[in-house]
Amino acid sequence: MSKNPVHVIGGGLAGSEAAWQIAEAGVPVVLHEMRPVRGTDAHKTDGLAELVCSNSFRSDDAAANAVGLLHAEMRLAGSLIMSAGDANQVPAGGALAVDRDGFSDAVTAKIEAHPLITIQREEVPGLPPAEWDQAIIATGPLTAPSLAQSIAEATGADALAFFDAIAPIVHFDTIDMNICWFQSRYDKVGPGGTGKDYINCPMDKDQYFAFVTALLEGQKTEFKEWEGTPYFDGCLPIEVMAERGVETLRYGPMKPMGLTNVHNPSVKAYAVVQLRQDNALGTLYNMVGFQTKLKHAEQVRIFRTIPGLENADFARLGGLHRNTYINSPTLLDPSLQLKSRPGLRFAGQITGCEGYVESAAIGLLAGRFATAERLGQALSLPPSTTAFGALLNHITGGHIVSDDEPGKRSFQPMNVNFGLFPPVEAPKVEGKRLRGKDKTVAKRHAITSRALADCRVWLGLPTRAEAAE
Protein backbone atom coordinates (compact mmCIF):
# COMPACT_ATOMS: atom_id res chain seq x y z
CA MET A 1 0.00 0.00 0.00
CA SER A 2 1.45 3.34 -1.00
CA LYS A 3 -0.36 5.42 1.61
CA ASN A 4 -1.08 4.64 5.25
CA PRO A 5 -4.56 3.19 5.50
CA VAL A 6 -7.51 4.79 7.25
CA HIS A 7 -8.90 2.36 9.85
CA VAL A 8 -12.67 2.08 10.05
CA ILE A 9 -14.06 0.26 13.08
CA GLY A 10 -17.51 -1.28 12.51
CA GLY A 11 -18.86 -2.61 9.22
CA GLY A 12 -22.45 -1.45 9.62
CA LEU A 13 -24.29 1.18 7.60
CA ALA A 14 -21.90 3.99 8.49
CA GLY A 15 -18.62 2.04 8.46
CA SER A 16 -19.31 0.38 5.12
CA GLU A 17 -20.18 3.72 3.52
CA ALA A 18 -17.13 5.42 5.07
CA ALA A 19 -14.80 2.66 3.85
CA TRP A 20 -16.28 2.89 0.35
CA GLN A 21 -15.90 6.67 0.10
CA ILE A 22 -12.29 6.53 1.28
CA ALA A 23 -11.30 3.68 -1.05
CA GLU A 24 -13.07 5.25 -4.04
CA ALA A 25 -10.92 8.34 -3.49
CA GLY A 26 -7.79 6.20 -3.80
CA VAL A 27 -6.88 5.79 -0.13
CA PRO A 28 -6.47 2.30 1.39
CA VAL A 29 -8.79 1.23 4.17
CA VAL A 30 -8.75 -1.45 6.85
CA LEU A 31 -12.32 -2.20 7.90
CA HIS A 32 -12.57 -3.93 11.30
CA GLU A 33 -15.85 -5.77 11.88
CA MET A 34 -16.28 -7.99 14.92
CA ARG A 35 -19.06 -10.22 13.55
CA PRO A 36 -19.04 -13.25 13.39
CA VAL A 37 -16.25 -13.44 16.01
CA ARG A 38 -18.49 -11.55 18.40
CA GLY A 39 -22.19 -10.79 17.85
CA THR A 40 -24.55 -8.10 19.10
CA ASP A 41 -28.03 -8.47 20.62
CA ALA A 42 -29.69 -7.42 17.38
CA HIS A 43 -27.54 -8.52 14.43
CA LYS A 44 -28.25 -12.00 13.09
CA THR A 45 -25.75 -12.43 10.23
CA ASP A 46 -22.10 -11.76 9.51
CA GLY A 47 -22.96 -9.54 6.51
CA LEU A 48 -21.82 -5.94 6.33
CA ALA A 49 -24.51 -3.23 6.59
CA GLU A 50 -27.05 -5.60 8.13
CA LEU A 51 -30.44 -3.98 8.68
CA VAL A 52 -31.32 -5.01 12.23
CA CYS A 53 -35.03 -4.23 12.16
CA SER A 54 -37.22 -2.68 9.46
CA ASN A 55 -36.18 -3.02 5.80
CA SER A 56 -37.17 0.55 4.96
CA PHE A 57 -35.02 3.56 4.11
CA ARG A 58 -38.27 5.57 4.50
CA SER A 59 -39.57 8.11 1.96
CA ASP A 60 -37.76 8.40 -1.37
CA ASP A 61 -39.45 11.72 -2.22
CA ALA A 62 -36.55 14.12 -2.73
CA ALA A 63 -38.83 17.10 -3.37
CA ALA A 64 -41.00 17.01 -0.26
CA ASN A 65 -39.38 14.78 2.34
CA ALA A 66 -36.15 15.39 4.27
CA VAL A 67 -34.95 11.78 4.24
CA GLY A 68 -35.86 11.52 0.54
CA LEU A 69 -33.66 14.57 0.02
CA LEU A 70 -30.84 12.88 1.92
CA HIS A 71 -31.20 9.85 -0.39
CA ALA A 72 -30.80 12.15 -3.39
CA GLU A 73 -27.73 13.90 -1.96
CA MET A 74 -26.13 10.55 -1.13
CA ARG A 75 -26.74 9.31 -4.66
CA LEU A 76 -25.02 12.45 -5.97
CA ALA A 77 -22.07 11.65 -3.70
CA GLY A 78 -21.69 8.10 -5.05
CA SER A 79 -23.06 6.34 -1.97
CA LEU A 80 -22.58 2.57 -1.81
CA ILE A 81 -25.50 2.20 0.61
CA MET A 82 -27.86 3.98 -1.80
CA SER A 83 -26.68 2.11 -4.89
CA ALA A 84 -27.04 -1.24 -3.08
CA GLY A 85 -30.46 -0.12 -1.79
CA ASP A 86 -31.63 0.93 -5.26
CA ALA A 87 -30.44 -2.36 -6.74
CA ASN A 88 -32.37 -4.36 -4.13
CA GLN A 89 -35.56 -2.34 -3.93
CA VAL A 90 -38.85 -4.04 -3.06
CA PRO A 91 -42.30 -2.45 -3.65
CA ALA A 92 -43.20 -0.03 -0.83
CA GLY A 93 -45.20 2.85 -2.27
CA GLY A 94 -43.32 6.12 -1.91
CA ALA A 95 -40.77 4.56 0.41
CA LEU A 96 -37.47 2.93 -0.52
CA ALA A 97 -37.62 -0.53 1.03
CA VAL A 98 -35.05 -3.18 0.28
CA ASP A 99 -34.57 -6.91 0.31
CA ARG A 100 -32.43 -6.96 3.44
CA ASP A 101 -30.32 -9.99 2.54
CA GLY A 102 -29.84 -8.88 -1.06
CA PHE A 103 -28.88 -5.43 0.17
CA SER A 104 -26.35 -6.63 2.76
CA ASP A 105 -24.92 -9.19 0.29
CA ALA A 106 -24.47 -6.44 -2.31
CA VAL A 107 -22.65 -4.15 0.14
CA THR A 108 -20.46 -7.03 1.38
CA ALA A 109 -19.58 -8.11 -2.17
CA LYS A 110 -18.63 -4.57 -3.24
CA ILE A 111 -16.46 -4.00 -0.17
CA GLU A 112 -14.80 -7.42 -0.43
CA ALA A 113 -14.03 -6.86 -4.11
CA HIS A 114 -12.55 -3.38 -3.68
CA PRO A 115 -8.78 -3.57 -4.19
CA LEU A 116 -8.10 -0.85 -1.60
CA ILE A 117 -10.21 -2.34 1.22
CA THR A 118 -9.00 -5.03 3.62
CA ILE A 119 -11.61 -6.50 5.96
CA GLN A 120 -10.44 -7.75 9.33
CA ARG A 121 -12.99 -9.79 11.25
CA GLU A 122 -12.03 -8.86 14.80
CA GLU A 123 -13.29 -6.94 17.77
CA VAL A 124 -11.42 -3.72 18.42
CA PRO A 125 -11.43 -3.77 22.22
CA GLY A 126 -10.44 -0.18 22.94
CA LEU A 127 -9.62 3.14 21.35
CA PRO A 128 -7.48 2.76 18.22
CA PRO A 129 -3.72 2.49 18.88
CA ALA A 130 -1.68 5.65 18.25
CA GLU A 131 -0.25 4.29 14.98
CA TRP A 132 -3.75 4.35 13.45
CA ASP A 133 -3.34 8.05 12.82
CA GLN A 134 -6.58 8.32 10.81
CA ALA A 135 -9.43 6.22 12.22
CA ILE A 136 -13.21 6.27 12.30
CA ILE A 137 -15.28 4.64 15.05
CA ALA A 138 -18.60 3.54 13.52
CA THR A 139 -19.62 0.84 15.96
CA GLY A 140 -23.25 1.84 16.23
CA PRO A 141 -25.89 1.78 18.96
CA LEU A 142 -24.76 -1.66 20.14
CA THR A 143 -21.04 -0.91 20.41
CA ALA A 144 -19.22 -3.80 22.10
CA PRO A 145 -18.88 -3.15 25.85
CA SER A 146 -15.11 -2.87 26.17
CA LEU A 147 -14.82 -0.28 23.40
CA ALA A 148 -17.79 1.59 24.89
CA GLN A 149 -15.98 1.58 28.22
CA SER A 150 -12.82 2.99 26.63
CA ILE A 151 -14.82 5.73 24.91
CA ALA A 152 -16.48 6.61 28.22
CA GLU A 153 -13.09 6.78 29.95
CA ALA A 154 -11.63 8.97 27.21
CA THR A 155 -14.56 11.36 26.97
CA GLY A 156 -15.89 11.51 30.54
CA ALA A 157 -18.73 9.61 32.16
CA ASP A 158 -21.42 12.13 31.17
CA ALA A 159 -20.38 12.04 27.55
CA LEU A 160 -21.64 8.57 26.67
CA ALA A 161 -25.26 7.51 26.93
CA PHE A 162 -26.28 3.88 26.96
CA PHE A 163 -29.91 4.42 26.20
CA ASP A 164 -31.98 7.31 25.11
CA ALA A 165 -35.14 8.52 26.69
CA ILE A 166 -36.46 10.76 24.04
CA ALA A 167 -39.23 13.30 24.23
CA PRO A 168 -41.21 14.27 21.13
CA ILE A 169 -40.10 17.26 19.08
CA VAL A 170 -42.61 19.54 17.37
CA HIS A 171 -42.22 21.86 14.38
CA PHE A 172 -42.65 25.37 15.80
CA ASP A 173 -44.80 26.59 12.92
CA THR A 174 -47.46 23.97 13.75
CA ILE A 175 -47.97 25.19 17.33
CA ASP A 176 -51.02 27.42 17.82
CA MET A 177 -49.63 30.54 19.46
CA ASN A 178 -53.16 31.95 19.83
CA ILE A 179 -53.54 29.37 22.60
CA CYS A 180 -49.94 28.96 23.79
CA TRP A 181 -47.57 31.66 24.97
CA PHE A 182 -43.85 32.22 25.48
CA GLN A 183 -42.74 32.49 29.11
CA SER A 184 -40.07 30.99 31.34
CA ARG A 185 -41.25 29.95 34.79
CA TYR A 186 -41.24 33.03 37.04
CA ASP A 187 -39.89 34.93 34.01
CA LYS A 188 -36.42 33.68 34.94
CA VAL A 189 -33.86 34.95 32.49
CA GLY A 190 -31.10 32.49 33.49
CA PRO A 191 -27.58 32.60 32.03
CA GLY A 192 -28.51 32.53 28.36
CA GLY A 193 -32.25 33.13 28.31
CA THR A 194 -34.72 35.92 27.76
CA GLY A 195 -37.42 35.07 30.32
CA LYS A 196 -39.55 33.88 27.42
CA ASP A 197 -37.76 30.69 26.53
CA TYR A 198 -40.58 28.18 26.84
CA ILE A 199 -43.80 27.69 24.96
CA ASN A 200 -46.60 26.93 27.40
CA CYS A 201 -49.77 24.97 26.62
CA PRO A 202 -52.46 25.51 29.26
CA MET A 203 -54.87 22.82 30.51
CA ASP A 204 -57.93 23.19 32.71
CA LYS A 205 -58.81 20.54 35.29
CA ASP A 206 -61.04 18.46 32.99
CA GLN A 207 -58.48 18.54 30.21
CA TYR A 208 -55.74 17.46 32.61
CA PHE A 209 -57.69 14.52 34.04
CA ALA A 210 -58.73 13.37 30.55
CA PHE A 211 -55.08 13.62 29.47
CA VAL A 212 -53.80 11.52 32.40
CA THR A 213 -56.48 8.88 31.67
CA ALA A 214 -55.43 8.81 28.01
CA LEU A 215 -51.79 8.31 29.05
CA LEU A 216 -52.71 5.42 31.33
CA GLU A 217 -54.93 3.75 28.76
CA GLY A 218 -52.73 4.44 25.71
CA GLN A 219 -50.97 1.51 24.07
CA LYS A 220 -47.30 1.19 25.01
CA THR A 221 -44.45 -0.49 23.18
CA GLU A 222 -42.93 -3.47 24.95
CA PHE A 223 -39.21 -3.55 25.61
CA LYS A 224 -37.33 -6.33 23.92
CA GLU A 225 -35.32 -8.42 26.35
CA TRP A 226 -32.04 -6.86 25.27
CA GLU A 227 -33.47 -3.44 25.96
CA GLY A 228 -34.08 -4.27 29.61
CA THR A 229 -32.59 -1.07 30.91
CA PRO A 230 -33.71 0.22 34.29
CA TYR A 231 -35.42 3.61 34.40
CA PHE A 232 -33.47 6.44 35.86
CA ASP A 233 -35.59 8.71 38.00
CA GLY A 234 -34.41 11.73 36.02
CA CYS A 235 -36.09 10.51 32.86
CA LEU A 236 -39.10 8.42 33.78
CA PRO A 237 -41.57 7.97 30.94
CA ILE A 238 -44.58 10.23 31.49
CA GLU A 239 -46.98 7.31 31.59
CA VAL A 240 -44.92 5.74 34.39
CA MET A 241 -45.15 9.04 36.29
CA ALA A 242 -48.91 9.08 35.67
CA GLU A 243 -49.17 5.57 37.14
CA ARG A 244 -47.72 6.90 40.40
CA GLY A 245 -50.78 9.08 41.01
CA VAL A 246 -53.14 11.32 39.10
CA GLU A 247 -51.53 14.51 40.45
CA THR A 248 -47.90 13.36 39.97
CA LEU A 249 -47.43 15.03 36.59
CA ARG A 250 -48.92 18.26 37.92
CA TYR A 251 -46.13 18.34 40.50
CA GLY A 252 -43.57 17.30 37.90
CA PRO A 253 -43.14 18.35 34.27
CA MET A 254 -46.71 19.69 33.99
CA LYS A 255 -46.63 22.00 37.01
CA PRO A 256 -48.38 25.33 36.32
CA MET A 257 -46.39 27.40 38.85
CA GLY A 258 -44.77 30.69 37.86
CA LEU A 259 -46.72 31.02 34.63
CA THR A 260 -49.45 33.44 33.56
CA ASN A 261 -51.44 32.82 30.40
CA VAL A 262 -51.16 36.03 28.36
CA HIS A 263 -54.31 35.10 26.47
CA ASN A 264 -56.30 34.70 29.69
CA PRO A 265 -54.36 36.30 32.59
CA SER A 266 -57.15 36.04 35.16
CA VAL A 267 -57.50 32.24 34.90
CA LYS A 268 -54.73 30.08 36.34
CA ALA A 269 -54.00 26.96 34.27
CA TYR A 270 -54.50 23.71 36.20
CA ALA A 271 -51.53 22.14 34.41
CA VAL A 272 -49.12 23.25 31.70
CA VAL A 273 -47.19 21.37 29.04
CA GLN A 274 -43.93 23.15 28.27
CA LEU A 275 -41.88 23.05 25.10
CA ARG A 276 -38.30 24.19 24.90
CA GLN A 277 -36.35 25.32 21.87
CA ASP A 278 -34.38 22.38 20.51
CA ASN A 279 -32.24 23.79 17.71
CA ALA A 280 -30.37 27.01 17.17
CA LEU A 281 -32.66 27.95 14.28
CA GLY A 282 -35.68 27.96 16.58
CA THR A 283 -37.70 25.81 14.20
CA LEU A 284 -38.03 22.84 16.57
CA TYR A 285 -39.31 22.59 20.15
CA ASN A 286 -39.13 19.54 22.41
CA MET A 287 -41.83 18.62 24.89
CA VAL A 288 -40.13 18.99 28.26
CA GLY A 289 -40.16 15.82 30.36
CA PHE A 290 -42.32 13.95 27.86
CA GLN A 291 -40.12 10.92 27.24
CA THR A 292 -42.50 8.07 26.65
CA LYS A 293 -42.98 4.45 25.61
CA LEU A 294 -46.42 5.12 24.12
CA LYS A 295 -46.75 3.73 20.60
CA HIS A 296 -46.08 6.38 17.96
CA ALA A 297 -49.67 6.55 16.69
CA GLU A 298 -50.88 6.89 20.28
CA GLN A 299 -48.45 9.74 20.93
CA VAL A 300 -49.80 11.65 17.94
CA ARG A 301 -53.42 11.00 18.99
CA ILE A 302 -52.94 11.85 22.68
CA PHE A 303 -50.51 14.77 22.34
CA ARG A 304 -52.79 16.46 19.82
CA THR A 305 -55.38 16.73 22.60
CA ILE A 306 -53.03 19.21 24.33
CA PRO A 307 -54.39 22.74 23.83
CA GLY A 308 -52.31 24.47 21.16
CA LEU A 309 -50.93 21.23 19.73
CA GLU A 310 -54.11 20.17 17.90
CA ASN A 311 -52.29 20.43 14.56
CA ALA A 312 -48.81 19.64 15.79
CA ASP A 313 -46.47 18.13 13.26
CA PHE A 314 -43.90 15.97 15.06
CA ALA A 315 -40.29 16.06 13.83
CA ARG A 316 -39.61 13.11 16.14
CA LEU A 317 -41.75 11.04 18.46
CA GLY A 318 -40.71 9.92 21.92
CA GLY A 319 -39.13 6.61 22.84
CA LEU A 320 -36.86 4.79 25.20
CA HIS A 321 -34.36 2.27 23.92
CA ARG A 322 -30.85 0.92 24.16
CA ASN A 323 -28.51 3.20 22.29
CA THR A 324 -24.86 3.99 22.78
CA TYR A 325 -24.07 7.49 21.61
CA ILE A 326 -21.67 10.25 22.52
CA ASN A 327 -22.37 13.86 23.41
CA SER A 328 -21.22 15.00 19.98
CA PRO A 329 -21.92 18.76 20.22
CA THR A 330 -19.40 18.95 23.06
CA LEU A 331 -16.91 16.33 21.95
CA LEU A 332 -16.62 16.60 18.18
CA ASP A 333 -15.40 19.34 15.89
CA PRO A 334 -17.41 20.25 12.77
CA SER A 335 -15.66 17.48 10.80
CA LEU A 336 -16.71 14.77 13.30
CA GLN A 337 -13.21 14.63 14.80
CA LEU A 338 -12.75 14.06 18.51
CA LYS A 339 -11.46 17.43 19.71
CA SER A 340 -9.19 15.75 22.25
CA ARG A 341 -7.67 13.38 19.69
CA PRO A 342 -7.13 14.72 16.18
CA GLY A 343 -7.31 12.03 13.52
CA LEU A 344 -10.00 10.05 15.35
CA ARG A 345 -13.51 10.54 13.98
CA PHE A 346 -16.89 9.12 14.89
CA ALA A 347 -19.61 8.17 12.41
CA GLY A 348 -23.08 6.67 12.32
CA GLN A 349 -25.60 6.31 15.06
CA ILE A 350 -22.96 6.58 17.80
CA THR A 351 -22.67 10.30 16.91
CA GLY A 352 -26.34 10.90 17.75
CA CYS A 353 -28.05 10.65 14.42
CA GLU A 354 -30.91 8.20 14.15
CA GLY A 355 -31.76 5.79 11.36
CA TYR A 356 -30.13 3.69 8.68
CA VAL A 357 -29.91 6.45 6.08
CA GLU A 358 -28.72 9.13 8.48
CA SER A 359 -26.07 6.75 9.89
CA ALA A 360 -24.82 5.97 6.39
CA ALA A 361 -24.81 9.69 5.48
CA ILE A 362 -22.65 10.54 8.48
CA GLY A 363 -20.38 7.63 7.51
CA LEU A 364 -20.12 9.14 4.03
CA LEU A 365 -19.11 12.51 5.46
CA ALA A 366 -16.62 11.07 7.96
CA GLY A 367 -15.06 9.03 5.15
CA ARG A 368 -14.68 12.10 2.96
CA PHE A 369 -13.21 14.18 5.80
CA ALA A 370 -10.68 11.45 6.70
CA THR A 371 -9.75 11.11 3.02
CA ALA A 372 -9.12 14.84 2.67
CA GLU A 373 -6.83 14.76 5.69
CA ARG A 374 -4.92 11.75 4.44
CA LEU A 375 -4.44 13.40 1.04
CA GLY A 376 -3.49 16.74 2.61
CA GLN A 377 -6.47 18.49 1.04
CA ALA A 378 -8.49 21.27 2.64
CA LEU A 379 -11.60 20.06 4.45
CA SER A 380 -14.81 21.17 2.81
CA LEU A 381 -17.91 21.02 5.00
CA PRO A 382 -21.30 20.61 3.30
CA PRO A 383 -23.38 23.82 3.31
CA SER A 384 -25.98 24.00 6.09
CA THR A 385 -28.67 24.34 3.41
CA THR A 386 -28.08 20.73 2.32
CA ALA A 387 -29.44 17.68 4.13
CA PHE A 388 -25.83 16.59 4.73
CA GLY A 389 -25.03 19.94 6.31
CA ALA A 390 -28.26 20.21 8.30
CA LEU A 391 -27.73 16.78 9.85
CA LEU A 392 -24.04 17.41 10.49
CA ASN A 393 -24.85 20.73 12.19
CA HIS A 394 -27.39 19.06 14.47
CA ILE A 395 -24.74 16.57 15.54
CA THR A 396 -21.78 18.87 15.95
CA GLY A 397 -23.34 22.05 17.16
CA GLY A 398 -26.84 23.20 16.25
CA HIS A 399 -28.44 21.68 19.31
CA ILE A 400 -29.28 23.93 22.25
CA VAL A 401 -27.87 22.78 25.58
CA SER A 402 -30.27 23.36 28.44
CA ASP A 403 -28.97 25.90 30.97
CA ASP A 404 -31.74 25.49 33.49
CA GLU A 405 -31.22 21.80 34.14
CA PRO A 406 -27.54 21.60 35.06
CA GLY A 407 -26.01 18.19 34.63
CA LYS A 408 -28.80 16.93 32.38
CA ARG A 409 -27.85 15.69 28.96
CA SER A 410 -30.15 17.23 26.48
CA PHE A 411 -28.59 16.11 23.19
CA GLN A 412 -30.77 13.33 21.86
CA PRO A 413 -30.58 11.30 18.65
CA MET A 414 -32.61 12.60 15.76
CA ASN A 415 -33.67 11.72 12.24
CA VAL A 416 -33.10 14.25 9.49
CA ASN A 417 -36.10 16.60 9.20
CA PHE A 418 -36.98 20.00 7.75
CA GLY A 419 -36.69 21.68 11.14
CA LEU A 420 -32.90 21.30 10.89
CA PHE A 421 -32.65 23.46 7.75
CA PRO A 422 -32.33 27.24 7.65
CA PRO A 423 -35.87 28.48 6.97
CA VAL A 424 -36.99 29.77 3.57
CA GLU A 425 -39.80 32.12 2.66
CA ALA A 426 -42.65 30.28 0.94
CA PRO A 427 -42.75 31.57 -2.65
CA LYS A 428 -45.81 33.66 -3.53
CA VAL A 429 -48.14 32.51 -6.29
CA GLU A 430 -49.41 35.32 -8.55
CA GLY A 431 -48.29 37.79 -5.90
CA LYS A 432 -50.38 36.15 -3.19
CA ARG A 433 -49.13 34.49 -0.01
CA LEU A 434 -49.89 30.80 0.20
CA ARG A 435 -51.61 29.38 3.27
CA GLY A 436 -51.98 26.04 5.06
CA LYS A 437 -50.88 22.89 3.28
CA ASP A 438 -50.00 24.72 0.04
CA LYS A 439 -47.60 26.92 1.99
CA THR A 440 -45.97 23.89 3.68
CA VAL A 441 -45.52 22.09 0.35
CA ALA A 442 -44.13 25.22 -1.34
CA LYS A 443 -41.65 25.75 1.52
CA ARG A 444 -40.48 22.15 1.34
CA HIS A 445 -39.96 22.39 -2.40
CA ALA A 446 -37.98 25.59 -1.92
CA ILE A 447 -35.78 23.94 0.74
CA THR A 448 -35.15 20.80 -1.32
CA SER A 449 -34.35 22.58 -4.59
CA ARG A 450 -31.96 24.92 -2.74
CA ALA A 451 -30.38 21.87 -1.05
CA LEU A 452 -29.82 19.90 -4.24
CA ALA A 453 -28.35 22.89 -6.06
CA ASP A 454 -25.99 23.62 -3.15
CA CYS A 455 -25.07 19.96 -2.80
CA ARG A 456 -24.03 19.82 -6.47
CA VAL A 457 -21.80 22.84 -5.99
CA TRP A 458 -20.29 21.31 -2.84
CA LEU A 459 -19.56 18.05 -4.66
CA GLY A 460 -18.14 19.90 -7.69
CA LEU A 461 -20.82 18.49 -9.98
CA PRO A 462 -22.35 20.36 -12.93
CA THR A 463 -25.63 22.11 -12.18
CA ARG A 464 -28.77 20.32 -13.35
CA ALA A 465 -29.04 22.68 -16.30
CA GLU A 466 -25.41 22.10 -17.28
CA ALA A 467 -25.85 18.33 -16.86
CA ALA A 468 -28.92 18.41 -19.14
CA GLU A 469 -27.03 20.22 -21.97
Ligand X SMILES: Cc1cc2nc3c(=O)[nH]c(=O)nc-3n(C[C@H](O)[C@H](O)[C@H](O)COP(=O)(O)OP(=O)(O)OC[C@H]3O[C@@H](n4cnc5c(N)ncnc54)[C@H](O)[C@@H]3O)c2cc1C
Binding interface with ligand X (CB under 6 A): 9-15, 32-35, 40, 42-43, 52-54, 123-124, 138-144, 147, 348-350, 355-356, 359
Distance of closest approach, residue 92 Cβ to ligand X, in angstroms: 13
78 annotated to a ligand binding site = no
Which residue is nearest to ligand X, using beta carbons? 12
Cβ proximity to ligand X: between 147 and 447 the closer is 147
Tell me the angle at which helices 13-24 and 80-87 cross, rounded to the nearest 10 degrees: 110
Give phi and psi for 376, each to the nearest 5: 70, 25
Q: How far is the CB of 423 from ligand X (least distance, A)?
A: 26
Has 12 been labeled as part of a binding site? yes
CA atoms within 13 A on the CB side of 398: 24
Picking from 427, 429, 467, 420, the residue whose alpha carbon sits closest to that of residue 446 is 427
CA distance 64 to 69: 8
Q: Is the CB of residue 76 less than 8 Å from the CB of residue 455?
A: yes
| Least CB distance to ligand X at residue 249 (A) | 29
Q: How far is the CB of 165 from ligand X (least distance, A)?
A: 15
CA–CA distance, 406 with 54 (Å, rounded to integer): 37
CA separation for the pair 56, 92 (Å, rounded): 8
- 131 burial class (0-12, 13-18, 19+ CB within 10 angstroms)? exposed
Q: Work out the number of other CB atoms within 10 angstroms of the CB of residue 334.
A: 14
Residue 190 marked ligand-binding? no
- Contact yes or no for 382/451 (Cβ under 8 A): no
Structure-derived torsion over alpha carbons of residues 453, 72, 329, 150, reported in degrees to the nearest 10: -140
Amino acid at 230: P
**Any binding-site annotation on 13?**
yes
407 belongs to an annotated ligand binding site = no
Buried b (16+ CB within 10 A) or exposed e, 192-213: eeeeebbbbbbbeeebbeebbe
Angle, vertex CA 398, rays to CA 393 and CA 403, nearest 5? 155
* Closer CB to ligand X, 20 or 356, in the complex: 356
Is the CB of 164 or the CB of 454 nearer to ligand X?
Answer: 164
d(CA 461, CA 192): 42
Of 6, 14, 137, 134, the closest CA to residue 79 belongs to 14
DSSP string, 113-126: H-TTEEEEE----S
- 14 is known to lie in a ligand binding site: yes
Nearer to ligand X, 151 or 175 (CB): 151
Nearer to ligand X, 348 or 398 (CB): 348
List C-alpha distances in Å: 19 to 40, 91, 117, 305. 21, 29, 7, 47
Identify which of residues 308 and 355 has a Cβ nearer to ligand X in the complex: 355
Q: What is the DSSP string of 339-394?
A: TTSTTEEE-GGGGTB-SHHHHHHHHHHHHHHHHHHHTTPPP-PPPTTSHHHHHHHI
Q: What is the CB-side half-sphere exposure of residue 252 using CA atoms within 13 A?
A: 21
Rounded CA-CA distance 359/430 in Å is 41
Q: Which residues are annotated as a binding site for FAD?
A: 10-15
